[in-house]
Amino acid sequence: MPAEWEPHAATWLAWPHYRDDWPGKFEPIPWVYAEIIRHLARHERVELIVSDVASERRARNVLERANSLSDNVRFHRRPTNRVWTRDSGCTFVSSDPAGSTANHVGTAAPGRPAGSKTRQLLAVKWRFNAWSKYPNWQHDEKIGTHMAKTAGARELRPVFGKQRVVLEGGSIDVNGQGTLLTTEECLLSKVQQRNPAMSRADYEKVFADYLGIKSVVWLGAGIEGDDTHGHVDDLTRFVAPDTVVTVVESDPNDTNYEPLRENIRRLRAATDQDGKSLAIIELPMPAPVIFEGRRLPASYGNFYIANGVVLAPVFNDPNDRFALDILADLFPDRDVVGIYSGDLIWGFGAMHCMTQQQPAV
């Protein structure tokens, strides 16, 4: 699995339409999407999934009015339940010239025989069950297959025993060299209903076989308000092969304070695929974002790295500027753009949750 900062062929998004994901706050959401698409389309193709003809018409109208419609935006009419393509979509991977990734599962990309000297694009299609929380996920479960076919990638479906493996893209992050980040809360805790029969070793075997992973760094718990049971893309992200950023809470009375301290302790003890320690850069948390009495999963860690640009959620918080400055120092060759996400986060996701990169091969 390539690192997110490696060259992309495209970014996949799904146009928002399910109003119940932002009850009482849906109206600004399409305009937030338009801003995101405007920045992305300047640097790479945007593959935009719309539910039907009417949804495409509405999307085109918003994008045109926001100066975000360009030839770099391609529309795909497929029904969706929600917009969190990071989790419902496939995970694109590539094989090396020897076809090692393909050999694990006995497949090769269409038209490219195993052993071809050209890197092969493959699509790992996890089973999606809406984070074991919502009943309406049947359309989203099919989106990864559509993405794979459109990209010309062979679809791989990980299985444990006789069951397909349930996983969301937001629960993992990689350095492109063989090291993966995830959390125990998401994959191993008793409350999760993804793969209750799978152990730590079972997950590591799946990651090795399908993503080429040699070392897994297990963090503990996620942030308060995250309804995915602790996705790592709100917590800790690779920004270079040997470097991670991890969110920290400065207020000892905040519920995030101790869990995030524990994650740093684990990172300090962790090693990469070569047995080397990781460089750790701290990223502040914004003040709690609360709406209708509920704390939302606001985190600067949910940024997205695209060709030439990094999109980062901001919340009209004093720490916005510190977070953007840290990311700008880490990505000097990319524009770092803050996207106001105070409304977007009411849907329990931000930049990284809504995007899925298709690597260039």
Catalytic positions, written as ranges: 353
Between strands 173-174 and 179-183, the pairing is antiparallel
| Whole-angstrom distance, CA of residue 39 vs CA of residue 303 | 14
> Which backbone phi and psi does 33 adopt, to 5 degrees?
-60, -40
Longest dimension (CA), the chain: 58
d(CA 41, CA 355): 13
Which element (helix H / strand E) includes 357? strand 356-359
- CA torsion 347-285-36-4 (nearest 10°) is -110
Tell me how far apart the alpha carbons of residues 258 and 264 are, in angstroms, rounded to a whole number.
Answer: 10
DSSP state of 152: T
Residue 195 carries which DSSP code? -
Question: How many helices (H) and strands (E) in the chain?
Answer: 10, 20
Q: What percent of the residues of the chain are helix, what percent strand, and what percent coil, each to the nearest 5?
A: 30, 25, 45
Q: What is residue 204's DSSP assignment?
A: H
Phi, psi dihedral angles at 41 (to 5 degrees): -65, -15
